[in-house]
Amino acid sequence: MRHYRCILHQPTQVCHRLTALFRSPVRCCLSIALAAAVCLGGGNASALEPREVAILANADLPASLDVAQRYRQLRHIPQGNLLALPLPKGETISREQYVRQIADPLRDWLARPELAQIRCLLLVYGVPLRIRSTYPESEEHDRVEKIDARLDRLEVESPLAPEIERLRRRRIELRRLGRSDLAAVDSELTLLRIPHALRGWLPNPLFQAEIQPPQQVQLPPGGLFTARLDGPTPALAIALAERAIAAEAQPPRGRIYIDARGLTKGNYAPFDEAMRRAAKLLRPLPYPVTLEDTKRLFGPGECPDALLYYGWYRLRHYRDAFDWAPGAIGVHLASGEAVSLHRGDYWCPRMIADGVTATVGPVAEPYASAFPPADLFLPRLADGQYTLVEDYFLTLPHLSWRMVLVGDPLYRPFLKRQR
């Protein structure tokens, strides 16, 4: 897992920060739109509604159409909000295929006046997951890893060494050179109607935004929340929505499990500290919190009634420690746990098959700082005020990058606490 220096998660006024987010002319224009959306968002709105959700399915895959129609019926989405496009059946597509077969026709469809209310796009089983990079992975990545290893040693053994600052600066330069345009289809579609640079990521201005009900959570005009109903089988994909709806009909129950690593020094320590902070923030809730703060992972059978899980780091090899409670949400911070949602031992598809209701993961190496931080994401979920997709975008650091939210976007975790 490559990483970035962690941003301290202290609440800030987003409007004061936006001018520094984008440096190129295109990014500057985007930042102005983002500022307007965040600062001037409607104040009389509530959480995302079914009429504001559009569904994208694969017209060449009957199972995809079945999942789309079943979800539409479950959540009472208008029939006119469903679009089926002829798409490749694999999970990975080229940039040219993405533009020609998904982005361009979807942009034209969303331009219809009757779809002006759409704020969220749900991709379902059969819609490609990942956009292959136009640029080959470069040698900068290997050089960054060597610098990371050197920094990890220095920050523990010689924390005042002048070399540390020099290595940090060099690492930033190399990362900038080494960025590719490999991306999650979902994340790229968030800025479908907003011009933006393709290589690398863009900061998400909703990240850490101080938004409280009844404020509406919204991206700039043209921006789309995105989520995905997907999994190893079509039945498991639609099960994500069925589980969400069933969970909303009863008071939430279960336990919270957080699997930190006991790190206090080095580049990874801030991410570990965010998990410990999350455990502290969640302890007042009526759900027992178990914090594992050593290098070991939760073992088989150690996590009964798991309602929330956030942990790391076992790369691409799911450990079945969990008996998932109704409505459970699980996040494993590792480099490639959504490389495929259909096969393999990745955490995301295995958790879905095992009974989780929603999860988050990357389609390729995202860097640790791309994940919604535990101390932001978990408390947002437990607050119960907004839908799953809104909670996700309020805690997601980057747009146009490699993360995907898998689950029913309209799911209201912990909804019963608000009644």
What does the H/E/C string look like for 263-316? Answer: CCCCCCHHHHHHHHHHHHHHCCCCCCEEEEECCCCCCCCCEEEEEEEEECCCCC
Q: For residue 321, is it within any domain?
A: yes
My answer on whether 255 and 167 are in the same domain is no
Neighbours of 176 (CB within 10 A): 11
Alpha carbon 120 to its chain centroid, in Å, reads 14
Q: For residue 168, is it within any domain?
A: yes
Query: What pLDDT is attached to residue 137?
Result: 54
CA 305/CA 257 separation, integer angstroms = 10
My answer on whether 174 and 260 are in the same domain is no
**What is the number of alpha carbons within 13 Å of residue 256 lying toward its C-beta?**
25
Q: For residue 215, is it within any domain?
A: no
**End-to-end Cα, the chain, rounded Å:** 41
List Cα–Cα distances, 183 to 135, 180, 201, in angstroms.
12, 8, 9
Axis crossing angle, helix 347-354 with helix 234-248, rounded to the nearest 10 = 60
Query: What pLDDT is attached to residue 159?
Result: 79
My answer on whether 393 and 265 are in the same domain is yes
Q: What is the CA radius of gyration of the chain?
A: 20
Q: For residue 214, is it within any domain?
A: no
List Cα–Cα distances, 185 to 127, 228, 356, 403, in angstroms.
9, 10, 22, 9
My answer on whether 170 and 267 are in the same domain is no
Instruction: Give every CB contact of residue 191 below 8 A, 6+ residues apart in sequence.
Output: 30, 202, 222, 223, 399, 400
My answer on whether 278 and 406 are in the same domain is yes
Query: Quick one: tokens of 11?
Result: 């609440």
CA 295/CA 298 separation, integer angstroms = 10
My answer on whether 395 and 312 are in the same domain is yes
Query: What pLDDT is attached to residue 196?
Result: 80
Instruction: Check residue 382 and report its DSSP letter.
Output: H
Where do we find the tokens 């911070």? 333
Could you give phi then psi for residue 166, rounded to 5 degrees?
A: -65, -45
My answer on whether 157 and 261 are in the same domain is no
Residue 76, by phi and psi: left (phi above 0), alpha (psi -120 to 50) or beta?
Answer: left
**What is the number of alpha carbons within 13 Å of residue 55 lying toward its C-beta?**
32
Query: What pLDDT is attached to residue 213?
Result: 84
List Cα–Cα distances, 263 to 291, 347, 415, in angstroms.
13, 22, 34
Q: For residue 399, is it within any domain?
A: yes
Q: For residue 108, is it within any domain?
A: no
My answer on whether 335 and 414 are in the same domain is yes
Contact 315, 282 (CB under 8 A): no
Query: What pLDDT is attached to residue 179?
Result: 62
Instruction: Give every CB contact of residue 384 below 8 A, 6+ residues apart in sequence.
Output: 412, 413, 414, 415, 416, 417, 418
Instruction: Give every CB contact of residue 356 below 8 A, 6+ residues apart in sequence.
Output: 322, 324, 328, 329, 330
My answer on whether 173 and 305 are in the same domain is no
My answer on whether 169 and 251 are in the same domain is no
Could you give phi then psi for residue 346, rounded to 5 degrees?
A: -65, 150
My answer on whether 283 and 376 are in the same domain is yes
My answer on whether 269 and 403 are in the same domain is yes
Query: What pLDDT is attached to residue 173?
Result: 67
Alpha carbon 130 to its chain centroid, in Å, reads 14
Last residue of a domain, one of 178, 201, 229: 178
Pick from 109, 98, 171: which is nearest to 141 by CA?
A: 171
Reported pTM: 0.83
Q: For residue 149, is it within any domain?
A: yes
Residue range of the domain that includes 303: 245-418
* Total count of domains within the chain: 2
Q: For residue 41, is it within any domain?
A: no
Residues of the chain with pLDDT under 50: 2-45, 178, 417-419
Query: What pLDDT is attached to residue 142?
Result: 66
Alpha carbon 162 to its chain centroid, in Å, reads 36
